Amino acid sequence: MKVVVIGGTGLIGSKLVGKLGEHGHEAVAAAPNTGVNTLTGEGLAEVLQGASVVVDVSNSPSWEDDAVMNFFRTSTTNLLKAEAEAGVTHHVALSVVGTDRLQESGYFRAKQAQEDLIKESGMPYSIVHATQFFEFVKGIADISTDGDTVRLPSAKFQPMYSDDVAAAVGRTAVGSPVNGVVEIAGPDVFRLDELIRETLAAQNDPRTVVTDPQAPYSGAVLQETTLLPGPDAEIAKTKLSEWLARQQ
């Protein structure tokens, strides 16, 4: 099966291409640095020739409200049109658990717009909602920092290893379209402020984490369960403690 991975040279995309290849599929990494640009349409028709499945794990280079909305609207529209012309029979997109509950955020409004375009396209599809990646925990601290203070709410979240994300997306890609959303999450639930506090301390990072219920997360105020998946989510096996041990 030929599977084209949009964003196939990034963190998730490169892992996904490798996993699909290991299982005997023809996995093609498509990204601007491979000559495929979903914003301009460059290279799309050529790379989609003979493809059965397209997996979109791309992300906007800018998270500024207008730029990120333009990215997801334009790239998704171009991609779905090219897929229909090429005879692709399954569109898979990676999105985020809680997207519909985070609409104060410009980034998540753009992700919702992406999902809506897919659902309305008539293309058989599967949308994979993943929780935050272990690799991005420090990044959450960075975007929440003011001076030497990190302000975060104590909302619950259930992060997961990017390798497990790629594996779940791969399984979805080679399966039948669900024409709906599949949720995936890590095995353990943490408090956002507590985990960041512990992570920074373990790294001898001098920043102070202050618990602030009104502190925004990518521009949105969180309720306790905003970032948690539903009861039917697929739970990954890799624990954060195991991942941290590997990093050391």
CATH number of the domain where residue 47 is located: 3.40.50.720
What pLDDT score does 248 carry?
A: 74
What pLDDT score does 138 carry?
A: 86
Q: Is residue 154 part of a domain?
A: no
- Lay out the sheet containing 181-185: strands in order across: 26-30, 2-6, 53-56, 90-96, 125-130, 181-185, 234-235
Q: Is residue 236 part of a domain?
A: yes
Tell me the pTM: 0.95
Domain count across the chain = 1
What pLDDT score does 243 carry?
A: 92
What pLDDT score does 113 carry?
A: 98
In angstroms, the CA 64 to CA 236 distance is 31
CA-atom Rg of the chain in angstroms:
18
- pLDDT of the chain, 248 residues: tens digit per residue: 999 999 999 999 999 999 999 999 999 999 999 999 999 999 999 999 999 999 999 999 998 999 999 999 999 999 999 999 999 999 999 999 999 999 999 999 999 999 999 999 999 999 999 999 999 988 999 999 999 999 999 999 999 999 999 999 999 999 999 999 999 999 999 999 999 998 898 889 999 999 999 999 989 999 999 999 999 999 999 999 999 888 87
* Domain assignment of residue 89, given as a range: 2-134+159-188+227-247
Q: Is residue 11 part of a domain?
A: yes
Q: Is residue 95 part of a domain?
A: yes
| DSSP helix/strand/coil, 217 | strand
What pLDDT score does 246 carry?
A: 87
Q: Is residue 164 part of a domain?
A: yes
Q: Are 52 and 2 in contact (CB under 8 A)?
A: yes
| Number of C-beta neighbours around residue 99 at 10 A | 20
What pLDDT score does 88 carry?
A: 98
What pLDDT score does 239 carry?
A: 96
Question: Which two tokens mark 134?
Answer: 């272990």
Q: Is residue 53 part of a domain?
A: yes
Q: Does the CA dihedral 88-89-94-95 come out positive or negative?
A: positive
Bridge pairing between strands 208-211 and 149-152: parallel
Q: Is residue 140 part of a domain?
A: no
136-175 burial code (b ≥16 CB/10 A, e <16): ebeebbeebbeeeebbbbebbbbbbbbbbbbbbbbebbbe
181: alpha, beta or left, given left = phi > 0 and alpha = psi -120 to 50?
beta
Q: Is residue 117 part of a domain?
A: yes
